[in-house]
Structure 1
Amino acid sequence: MNSKIKVAILYIATGRYSIFWKHFLSSAEKNLLIECNKHYFVFTDDNELLSQDSCDKVTFIHQKKLGWPYDTLMRFDIFLTQKAKLKNYDFIFYFNANTEILSEVTVSDLLTINNHQDLIFALQPHSFHKKINKFTYDRNPNSSAYIPYNSGKFYFTGALNGGKSKAYLEMCETLNANVRKDLNTETIALWHDESHLNKYALNRSDIKILPPYFTRGESEYWKKSSKIMFSDKTHFRFGGHAYLRGETDQKIDQNEWERSRDRQKKRHGFRLKQLFKSLFIIR
C-alpha cells in the first residue's frame, strides 16, 4: 500500500535560509505525499532548530555554513553524511529552502511508477522553453559539468530532484566526486550543483521528467496548474538574494526590489514561448 512507501526529504537551512523552514514544513505536511511515510532530514546551523529534539518526522543535523557558492556546490557531500540512514528509504527527494507546496502532490504525481525510471527531475521553470544552445549548461571544457553546444534536450532545475534511494545515492556519490575533482583544479561549475546535475542527466533514459508547469517561480502567477512554487529570494521580505547568501548584511528595501522587478518583468512573448514549448515536451 502507498502508506508503506518511505520517503526521505532533504532540506538545507544554513545561515539565513532557515527563515523558510517552518513555512516549507507546514505546506509539505499539508500537501506533499500525504499517503507516504515522510521523514525530513534538515541540515542546519540554526541553534533554535538544533535545540529541538528529533522525532518521527524530523531529524536535525548540524551543518555549518560553508559560504557562497559552497553551500550549494557541496550539497551532495552534505547529503552523503547521512547515507547509512537514507539507504533505508524507498525514495529520496531534495527541495530548495524556498519551496512551498501549493496543492496536493500525490504518489502518481511525483514518484516513479515505471520500473525503468530511477530518478525524478523538474524542468527549470524560467528557461525550459529555450533552444538547447541557449541553455545555460556549463560550457567550460575543464569542468566535469561540461556540456558542448548542440548537446542535451532539457534543462533541469537544481531546486527539486529525487529518485529511488539507491539511484539517488549513486548520483550523489558521482556528483560529489566530480565536484571535488573540479575543486582540485580550482574549477567551479557555472551554476554549481545544477550544472553537475544537468551533466549527470545528459542522455539518460531512466529519468521521470515532471511536467513543464509542475513548478513555478513566485512571480509566474499565470502558471495556474503549478503544484510547487519557489519563493522569490530577491524579495525585500527576505532581505534580498545577497543578504540571504550572507554576501552582505544590508537588506534591500521595497523600492529597490520593485525597481529590480521592473527590469526583469516577463513579457507576453515569454509566456507564449513557454506555452508553445510545454505542448511538445514529452511527459
Structure 2
Amino acid sequence: MLCEPKHWSFCKLDFVSKNYAFQCRSIVEQSIQFHHTGSEIVTLVEDRKLCKIQQENITSNGIIPPALQDTLGFPTLQSDINGKTLQENWKKMQIPRTYISGTLAVSILFIVGFCLQKANLIFPCKQEQIINYSEKTAAQEIELAHYERLRLVKSRNLRQMALFVLTPWLAPIVWNGTFDLSVLDKQHNNTRIGLFVFAVKKYIRFLQLFLETAERYFMVGHKVTYYVFTDKVDEVVKPKMADGRILQIHNVVADKRWQDVSMRRMEVLTVYTKKHMPNEIDYLVCADVDMVFTDHVGVEILGDLVAAIHPGFFLSDRESFTYEDRPISAAYIPQGEGDFYYAGALYGGKLDEIYKLSTTCQNGIIEDKKKNIEALWQEESHLNRYLVYNKPTKLLSPEYIWDTNLPYEEFIKKKRFVIVNKNKRKITR
C-alpha cells in the first residue's frame, strides 16, 4: 500500500500493531541518522512490503508528518520553538561519546584480563608436562625389575608366566613395586582382617615367632584378629600387640597323622567362616605356622580370592606340577589343565569365597576317604583342583612365600614370608 498524505490516518491505524510500529520507527530512525534525502524511499518490512513512504511524505527539512510522529513515538518537531530539525533533536537524544568511550575502555580491559587468566584455553600451546620424578623412578624400577626377570629366564630357557604382572585371565600378580601402598591403606582404612593358623602337637613351637613377626610386618596399622587353633592352649605365649589387634585361641583335636591335621583345617574353616567370623572380619588370610614374616605384607594381598604361586614351581612347566593325576580322586586335574601350581601355605580372600573354597575341598576330602584314597598332597591337592576351575582374582608372587633352600633366589628381590628351616621328621613324630 502507498502511504500518501491523505492516508496518514490509515497508516496510523496500521502502525498501531506493535511489530509494525517498532519496525517502521527503526527504519525511519536509521534513515534520518544516515541523512537520507527526500528522493530516497525508506522501505518498511516485516515479512512483506507493508508500506512505502515516498518523497512527498517527508518534508524538505526532514520533518515527519504529525500523524506518523504520533504513531511512531517521535516528538512533534513542527512545534519546536527554535525550529530545530529532527536530526539536531536526534543528536540530543544520543548517549554522549564520553560515556561510550568509557564503556568501551572498561570492556576492553575486562576482555584483556579474562584472556590473560584463561590464556591456556584461548591460546592453546604446548606446555611442559609436570613430572613426578618419584613416580617416574618407581615405574622405571618396576619395568627394569620385570625385564631383569625375563632376561634371567631367557638365559636359562625357563617358563616365564609367573614373572609377569598379569595372568592370562587378567588377574594381577603382586610383585614388589606393582602397588601404591598409601592408596591401598586409605581404601582399607576400616577393613577388618583375620589371620587363620593351625598350631597343633609339636608345631606349637613355631607359634610365638609367627605371631611376633606378624605384629611387626603383617597388616601394620590395620585391624587384625588372629585365629589360632591348637591342642595346647596353655602353651600359647601372647606377644605384645598393637591397638586394634586381637588374639583368639581355639582348642582343636590333634589328629595322629600330620596329613590328617592338614586336612582338618578345611573342616574348621568351613565351620568358622559360616558361623563365627562374619560378624568379626571382612577378609581372611590362611597361613602355615612354620613360617616367619621377614618383610612387609599388607593390604596389597587382599582380594576376593587370593592364591600364592608355589615357590618350588614358579619357573616350572605345567608338566612338572604335582597335581593329583588319578581320576578316581576328587582332587584330580586332567593333563594339560591348570596354569600355576598354588601353595597350600598361604591363600585368602573374602569370607564368602573362603567358605565356598573350604566347603568344596572338605567335600572332596570326605569323598576320597569313602573310596579309601588320599590325594597326593592332601588339602593342597584339593586346593589346586578348586583354583584351576575357580580362577583366583589375585595371585601372590614367590616374594610372599619363599623357601631359602630353593634355587633361583636371584629372581626374588624381597622375601616377605619365609619357611622356617626345620627337621620335619622330628616335628611330625
| TM-score, with length taken from structure 2 | 0.52
The residue correspondences of 1:67-146 to structure 2 (distance < 5 A) are: 67-68=256-257, 69-83=259-273, 84-88=275-279, 89-108=281-300, 110-112=301-303, 118-146=304-332
- Counterpart amino acid of residue 270 in structure 2: L
Contact 1:67 1:245 in 2 (8 A): no
Q: Displacement, 1:8?
A: 1.2
Structure 2 counterpart of 1:27: 213
Contact 1:35 1:106 in 2 (8 A): no
Structure 2 counterpart of 1:226: 415
Alignment match of 2:400 (pick from 208, 214, 219)? 214
1:91–1:230: structure 2 CA closer, same or farther, 3 Å change rule?
Answer: same
- Structure number with greater Rg is 2
Unmatched segments (≥5 aa) in structure 2: 1-185, 239-243
Q: Percent identity?
A: 24
Distance 1:47 1:212 in 2: 32
Q: Displacement, 1:204?
A: 3.0
Q: Displacement, 1:28?
A: 0.5
Contact 1:217 1:229 in 2 (8 A): yes
Matched, 1:242 2:428: no
Deviations 1:222-276 (A, max 9, x none): 53312111112xx3xxxx2122112xxxxxxxxxxxxxxxxxxxxxxxxxxxxxx
- Counterpart amino acid of residue 59 in structure 1: Q
Contact 1:28 1:101 in 2 (8 A): yes
Matched, 1:36 2:234: no
Contact 2:297 2:400 in 1 (8 A): no
Stretch of structure 1 that moved more, 78-87 or 118-127: 78-87
Q: Displacement, 1:50?
A: 6.3
SS at match of 1:216: coil
1:186–1:121: structure 2 CA closer, same or farther, 3 Å change rule?
Answer: same
Alignment match of 1:60 (pick from 249, 252, 257)? 249
Q: RMSD between aligned alpha carbons? A: 1.9
Distance 2:368 2:256 in 1: 18
Distance 1:213 1:47 in 2: 32
Distance 1:207 1:192 in 2: 23
Unmatched segments (≥5 aa) in structure 1: 113-117, 247-283
| TM-score, with length taken from structure 1 | 0.77
Contact 1:14 1:43 in 2 (8 A): yes
Alignment match of 1:204 (pick from 378, 390, 399)? 390
Contact 1:50 1:62 in 2 (8 A): no
Deviations 1:102-131 (A, max 9, x none): 1111212x112xxxxx21110111122111
1:9–1:150: structure 2 CA closer, same or farther, 3 Å change rule?
Answer: same
Structure 2 counterpart of 1:265: none
- Counterpart amino acid of residue 285 in structure 2: F
Q: Displacement, 1:47?
A: 4.0
- Number of corresponding residues: 232
Deviations 1:172-231 (A, max 9, x none): 111111111111111110000100000000143343111233321133465331211111
Q: Displacement, 1:56?
A: 5.8
Q: Which has the higher helix share?
A: 2
Distance 2:235 2:370 in 1: 34
Q: Displacement, 1:78?
A: 1.9
Structure 2 counterpart of 1:148: 334
SS at match of 1:39: strand
Distance 1:51 1:159 in 2: 22
Structure 1 counterpart of 2:365: 179
